[in-house]
Chains A and B, each alone.
Chain A
Amino acid sequence: MDELLSWLRLQKGGVGTHAEFRERALGLRTREPQHAAAARLLADLAGRLADAYDEERFPTDMAQHALARLTALVQKVVHANSAGAAAQLAVLNEIGVAELV
């Protein structure tokens, strides 16, 4: 998850970022099974945006907002690693109801 966060921080947030994030997050499920649930939810979240805005107009303000929101959520997952199960569950639930735009 740390690696995914580092990669995301280098991106500019085009639709391609979200499509690739989906693939990377899905791949993470087998490499870091302790993050499988978070990775699945994050992949769905970014993937929904990639599907919705692929081939569509994607204003830069919206792209920057979506990238910042996704980065913040991944960061919360990383921080919740050292917290208890309740905190981790809270983050999962937050991602479960989140949208990036």
Chain B
Amino acid sequence: MTDSRIGDGIARLLFTAGAVHVSRTEPFTLAAGWASPVYVDCRMLIGEPRARRAVTELAAEYMASAFPAGSLDAIAGAETAGIPFAAWLADQTGLKLRYVRKRPLGIGRNAQVEGGTVEGLRVLLMDDLTTDSGSKLAFARGLRSAGATVEHVMSIFYHDAFPGAHERLRAAGLALHPLATWEHVLRAATPDLLAPDDRATVEQFLHDPVAWSTRHGGRATPTFPPLSAAHRRLRRLQSGEQ
């Protein structure tokens, strides 16, 4: 669960860094095919020393409250934008640092994880942005294939508009820890940071993101990968069914 104070702080930093882009006329297509009038570029936080220090401190504060001391061994940055955030956070928390590629290169060592072995390590996956969680599943698979235990994903911003991300992660045994969501961004969006017309566009989109996407040429329905037999069994157990 996102801490409101931390979320509000991250949201202000996103605005200050110029990371929140709204287009009233030309929608963006997000990775999973959803159309959206907004695009958040967390990489804008990387450049300024003050911004990246502040993000790192807020992320470390979140970690201290969310994870018991000694429960993690390493932080793995997700290629590309997750890597710098993971590096600063690993420095701040004294944890080991690794990074994980989007996919193995297919030649040479064919490794997906770099920075040393993750065999037997409890690893926090760190990325800048989460939309539908598809890429997080691939990163977690890569880390697990290399022997890591991965149960948590931390994301600077979670584009919590479209359905399915939490469910997909849960089905894969992963908990999402977003530092900020749209709720925080809209709360931080004073008129000098977000023009009233842009705000209206965002609110209209957030009212029904799937319908907005459909109207603007994007994806219309969420799709989920079929559940494995183990996941179906787990769900039956959780719901008390035999």
Contacts and interface: CB of A to CB of B under 8 A. Distances in A.
B194 interface: no
A55 to B, nearest CB: 6
B178 interface: no
Given A60-B35, A60-B217, A55 B26 contact: no
A59 B35 CA distance: 9
A62 B21 CA distance: 17
B45 to A, nearest CB: 13
Nearest to A23: B103
Contact of A58 (B28, B43, B103, B217): B28
A93 interface: no
B31 interface: yes
A75 interface: no
A64 B216 CA distance: 11
B128 to A, nearest CB: 8
B18 interface: no
A17 to B, nearest CB: 6
Contacts of B218: 12, 14, 60
Contact of A14 (B23, B30, B41): B30
A14 B41 CA distance: 17
Interface string A53-69: 01101111111100000
Give the secondary structure class of A's interface.
helix
Contacts of A17: 33
Given A14-B219, A55-B80, A61 B26 contact: yes
Interface in B102-155: 102-103, 106, 128-129, 134-135
Given A55-B81, A57-B21, A61-B26, A14 B217 contact: no
A22 B41 CA distance: 25
Contact of B217 (A19, A54, A64): A64
A16 interface: yes
B29 A60 contact: yes
Contacts of B31: 14-16, 19, 54
Given A14-B219, A16-B134, A64-B217, A58 B80 contact: no
Contacts of B35: 60
Nearest to A16: B31
A11 interface: yes
B28 A59 contact: yes
Contact of A60 (B43, B103, B128, B216): B216
Contacts of A19: 31, 102
Interface of A: 11-17, 19, 23, 26, 54-55, 57-64
23 contacts: A12-B34, A14-B29, A14-B32, A14-B33, A14-B34, A14-B218, A15-B29, A17-B33, A54-B31, A55-B43, A55-B80, A55-B128, A55-B129, A57-B21, A57-B41, A58-B30, A59-B26, A59-B27, A60-B28, A60-B29, A63-B29, A64-B29, A64-B217
Interface of B: 21, 23, 26-35, 39, 41, 43, 80-81, 102-103, 106, 128-129, 134-135, 216-219
Ranked 10 nearest A-B pairs via Cβ: A12-B33, A63-B29, A14-B33, A16-B31, A12-B219, A60-B27, A15-B31, A60-B29, A14-B31, A58-B29
